[in-house]
Amino acid sequence: MQTGESKRRVVVIGAGFAGLAAASCLAQEGYAVTVLEKNEMAGGRARVFASDGFTFDMGPSWYWMPGVFEQFFQKFGKTTADYYHLERLDPSYQVLYGEKDTMELPAGMPELEALFESLEPGAGAKLRAFLKQAAYKYEVGINTLVFKPSRSLTEFLDVKLMVDVLRLDVFQSMAKHVRKYFKHPRLVQIMEFPVLFLGALPENTPALYSLMNYADLSLGTWYPMGGMYKIIEGMVSLAQELGVEIKLNEEVQRLEMQGGTIRSVVTNQGAYEADVVVGGADYHHLETRLLPREFQTYSDKYWDTRVMAPSSLIFYLGIDKKLEGLRHHNLFFDEDFGPHAQEIYTNPAWPTKPLFYVSVPSKTDPSVAPAGKENLFILIPVAPDLKDTSDIREHYYHLVMERLERLTGQQIRPHVIFKRSYAHQDFIKDYHAFKGNAYGLANTLLQTAVLKPSMKSKKVRNLFYTGQLTVPGPGVPPSLISGQVVASEIVKEFAPQEHPLTHPA
């Protein structure tokens, strides 16, 4: 460093997976990084709370793609084991179709192939073929495509990559792709279910995303002992080791501009001068509420026509007894899968017969519930932008609990000793979530790569975005990758050091 040079100051708005990942990568490169978080703890949607002896992860509950987490920590000479202990779940999860009608998905591939074969002759071999192709997509998709910032089509003008894209089934839907291999409705459901994490119908999701099946069935479902928040604790610890300053309870109120450059970020507690700003909070909120209109890249019409991933109605329940018939992860497909999924995406109304998912982490981890008790996380995927009232929540609580009790053959509601709900209003209040969404933008073909909101502002020289509303998309591993990608883009444009008299114009 030459005499008189100082570190560039980066302000990251939001301490979710993407924001924390970006902060650590930039600190490692030599920037002075401050993270501003509006809530009382880091984590974004992956926050945690404790009550009455129960510990509840508030958002993500599936740990897929373990290599993505491992590669992130290895960038800093660490491993996930330095921060948390992983257990592979076996079975990975179970599906409940009706009373005494369940199907467990084993972790072992021979057992999984035998299960598929038992439902449809020849399906075991077809599963091997399907996953071999999906493994290729995973290798190219996760190690190449998702690490591209998608700011220009020229990024994809590589002969090998263009050949890869043709092999990746980008222009075929998941629905058609799955049905080329499997006919049995239960196998089709199992193969289509992971794309619901991507926020779109299988009919509208590129078959590229069969890579999610490889993540699910081949790489397995894992759990960090102590809960998903252990990942955030590890990321916060790493960031602080690297010199990142994390400010909690500081909600950003405006961005002070000088021409087309942000000069400072103003919160409810003070102002922070910035050479570079990374928006890790809700993209729509940052654009439309914090930036003056003349510096906004996208119009109101643009945002209103985006296809959003679902929101969620979540119940956190503490149960005063152990429950039978449930695994750590449980999918309830007792109602017809197809019509309900259509209902979420095509009819912006509360569903009549919702699918739902139940996580019981206390089946794996005794630390999240008192002895002899159970920790229940119930999630109902619902359309975004719905009217959300306490009466509606209570209606769906009893609707789902009646089905849960009937399908597992036991009373549960009389044994609920803690209950909290979370839905659209909470996502808006806590995260400024556009239309109360839980997962960001749906990964449709027309909202993939360069067709997503840009990682770099087109009107503000030093403003970048990261997280689930930009590339690569929704989910924990993509958000972790998004933070790394935006950091690399900043390094390309802004050197870590600058002379104090030569701020960018």
Domain 112-219 annotated CATH 3.40.50: no
Q: Where are the domains of the chain?
A: 6-84+226-305+440-498, 112-219, 308-431
Give me Rg for the CA atoms of the chain: 23
Q: Which of these, 67, 380, 356, 53, lies nearest to 211 by C-alpha position?
A: 67
Q: Is 120 helix (H, G, I), strand (E, B) or coil?
A: coil
Distance, CA of 466 to CA of 487 (rounded, Å): 9
Distance, CA of 252 to CA of 267 (rounded, Å): 4
Q: Is 336 helix (H, G, I), strand (E, B) or coil?
A: coil
**Backbone phi, then psi, for 463, in 5-degree steps?**
-115, 125
Q: How confident is the model at residue 346 (pLDDT cuts 50, 70, 90)?
A: low
Q: With 70 as the cut, is the pLDDT of residue 469 above it?
A: yes
pLDDT in tens, 45-73: 999 999 999 999 999 999 999 999 999 99
pLDDT cut 70: percent of the chain above it: 92
- HSE-CB at 187 with a 13 A cutoff on CA atoms is 24
**Kind and range of the H or E run holding 404:** helix 390-408
pLDDT in tens, 436-447: 999 999 888 888
Q: Which of these, 14, 39, 12, lies nearest to 23 by C-alpha position?
A: 12
Q: With 80 as the cut, is the pLDDT of residue 288 above it?
A: yes
pLDDT in tens, 149-202: 877 666 555 545 455 555 778 779 999 999 999 999 999 999 998 887 666 788
Q: How confident is the model at residue 147 (pLDDT cuts 50, 70, 90)?
A: confident
Question: What's the confidence (pLDDT) of residue 85?
Answer: 98
CATH architecture of 6-84+226-305+440-498: 3-Layer(bba) Sandwich (3.50)
Q: With 50 as the cut, is the pLDDT of residue 505 above it?
A: no
* 308-431 has the same fold as 6-84+226-305+440-498: no
Distance, CA of 416 to CA of 74 (rounded, Å): 42
Distance, CA of 370 to CA of 320 (rounded, Å): 9
Classify residue 441 by burial, with Cβ atoms within 10 Å: 0-12, 13-18, 19+. buried
Q: How confident is the model at residue 465 (pLDDT cuts 50, 70, 90)?
A: very high
pLDDT in tens, 382-417: 999 999 999 999 999 999 999 999 999 999 999 999
Question: What's the confidence (pLDDT) of residue 500?
Answer: 47
Q: What is the DSSP letter of 215?
A: I
Distance, CA of 318 to CA of 50 (rounded, Å): 11
pLDDT in tens, 80-110: 999 999 999 999 999 999 999 999 999 999 9
Q: Is 386 helix (H, G, I), strand (E, B) or coil?
A: coil
Distance, CA of 260 to CA of 431 (rounded, Å): 26
Distance, CA of 112 to CA of 117 (rounded, Å): 9
Domain 308-431 annotated CATH 2.30.29: no
Q: With 90 as the cut, is the pLDDT of residue 7 above it?
A: yes
Q: What is the mean pLDDT of residues 195-218?
A: 86
Is the CB of residue 89 less than 8 Å from the CB of residue 223?
Answer: yes
Higher-confidence position of 151 and 493? 493
Distance, CA of 41 to CA of 48 (rounded, Å): 9
Q: Which of 157-161, 449-453, 478-482 has the lowest mean pLDDT?
A: 157-161
